[in-house]
Amino acid sequence: MMKLLIATVFPLPGGGIWSFVSNLRENLIKQGHTVDVLCTRDDNKKVVLLNRNTVIDLAHYRPYVNEKLLQSVPHLVREPWVYNAEMNRYLFEQGVSELNLNHYDVIHAQDVIAAVALSRIKPNHLPLVTSVHGFLTGAIFHQYKTRHVTLGDREIWNSFLLQYYSRLEQIGYEASDYIHTSSQWMRGIIEREFRMQPSKIHTIRYGVKLSEFTQKLPSKRKEDKQIILVISRLVYLKGLHHLMEALSLLNNKNTWECRILGEGEMEKELKAECRRLGIEGNVKFLGNRSNVKEHLHQADMLVLPSLQENQPFAVIEAQLSGVPTIVSNAGGLPEMVDNYKNGVITEKANSRQLSESIQYLLENHEIRERMSQSAKQMGKAMWDVNRLGGSILELYVKARHDKLGIF
């Protein structure tokens, strides 16, 4: 039996990484292994081992890291995004260095930033596996684009910020003994853009506990309106501004309601867009909710119009709940949906096509029912955590064997 460390620079619990980590950890423990989870807390002010109540305060490292950064790269203060990223990375590294990593058999990083930091301080004999949950540089591109609308795409890609993140991502992949990704889309980026050997990359779909989706929920209310559900952060790359336009093109506004679960920096802008388009009465911003399964149970469809996406758990949970999904053709989304079988795939950033797809499902109850049954059947076959846990464990064993020559 192995002692495993799952680590990320992001705060947990919460978000898609937590869905992956919590499902995987529970399955690995069920198989008899010991699993610790390392993350940050309080805006990168602390590093914590969640299950051991170990807390490392990073405040006393900040003056030291700041001095070293400014000595090495004095101009970095003129690039606040990069400065903050480097500051947080080095603070994480300093905090984790207080831990004894020698008693672990494998470290499983959940992002390339953690992979870079851990590769610098871990014992040489300790294998490092990295799960890649998304295209980091691409996500930064979309975030930067929202704040610099006058810049062209090529200008953004060639900026110091994007070059920095691309190099950081490259180092993270190079530092990992093996790379896990859940989609062929992300695998292709790692191979093509970052020139990683295919043998180093293992593509394993996500998984959840199927038993959680067999529990009986209260009978579905007979709603006056059909429910269009969105589960998403309210940020640019999720494409929700295109959804607002799509909703404004729908017929019969008295027959539907869109419920949005999530928070983010674009909330005010999206609400203003709803008012401008005259659909503010049809769109409900409900914030983050813990009872997601209940909302799925009430939904007639889930819509995710992302501009970039890997393999979101919202789609997985919708399918296992029997909810047809309408997704864009961005990233790994098309790998999750069998078009017109368990959902519909639309062209990203195409508001009219998105509207037509939503209208199609609103008007065709029998087709939605067939998609619902197909979503459940296909979901059970695709998203079983036991398959995920077994495959990830095989990857750990392979990493140990390659590093130490032991099975």
| Pairwise CA distance, residues 47 & 45, whole Å | 7
Tell me, yes or no, whether 111 and 234 share the same domain: no
Tell me, yes or no, whether 365 and 259 share the same domain: yes
Tell me, yes or no, whether 267 and 332 share the same domain: yes
253 or 223, greater pLDDT = 253
Tell me, yes or no, whether 318 and 225 share the same domain: yes
Helices H / strands E in the chain, number of each? 15, 14
Tell me, yes or no, whether 104 and 220 share the same domain: no
Judged by average pLDDT, the poorest of 48-57, 308-317, 390-399 is 48-57
CATH of the domain at 312: 3.40.50.2000
pLDDT tens-digit map of 345-378: 999 999 999 999 999 999 999 999 999 999 999 9
Tell me, yes or no, whether 195 and 234 share the same domain: no
Tell me, yes or no, whether 111 and 248 share the same domain: no
Q: 223 is in which domain, residue-wise?
A: 210-382
Give me the pLDDT at residue 262, please.
94
Tell me, yes or no, whether 244 and 326 share the same domain: yes
- Residue corresponding to tokens 């970039």: 308
Tell me, yes or no, whether 149 and 226 share the same domain: no
Tell me, yes or no, whether 176 and 235 share the same domain: no
Give me the pLDDT at residue 221, please.
58
DSSP labels for 109-172? ESSHHHHHHHHHHS-TTS-EEEEE-S-HHHHHHHHHHHH-TTS-HHHHHTSHHHHHHHHHHHHH
Provide the domain count of the chain.
2
| Pairwise CA distance, residues 296 & 321, whole Å | 7
Which of 205, 185, 187 minimizes the C-alpha distance to 196?
187
pTM above 0.75, yes or no: yes
Strand bridging mode 46-49 / 54-57: antiparallel
H or E, element range at 259: strand 256-261
DSSP labels for 158-189? TSHHHHHHHHHHHHHHHH-SEEEES-HHHHHH
| Pairwise CA distance, residues 369 & 324, whole Å | 8
pLDDT tens-digit map of 184-213: 999 999 999 999 999 999 999 999 999 988
Tell me, yes or no, whether 119 and 31 share the same domain: yes
Q: What's the token pair of residue 328?
A: 């864009």
Tell me, yes or no, whether 158 and 234 share the same domain: no
| Pairwise CA distance, residues 378 & 258, whole Å | 26
Cα dihedral 142, 147, 152, 157 in deg (nearest 10):
-50
335: helix, strand or coil: helix
Tell me the HSE value of 71 on the side-chain side, using a 13 A CA sphere. Answer: 6
| Pairwise CA distance, residues 184 & 332, whole Å | 7
Whether omega before 13 lies within 30 degrees of 0, making that bond cis, reads yes
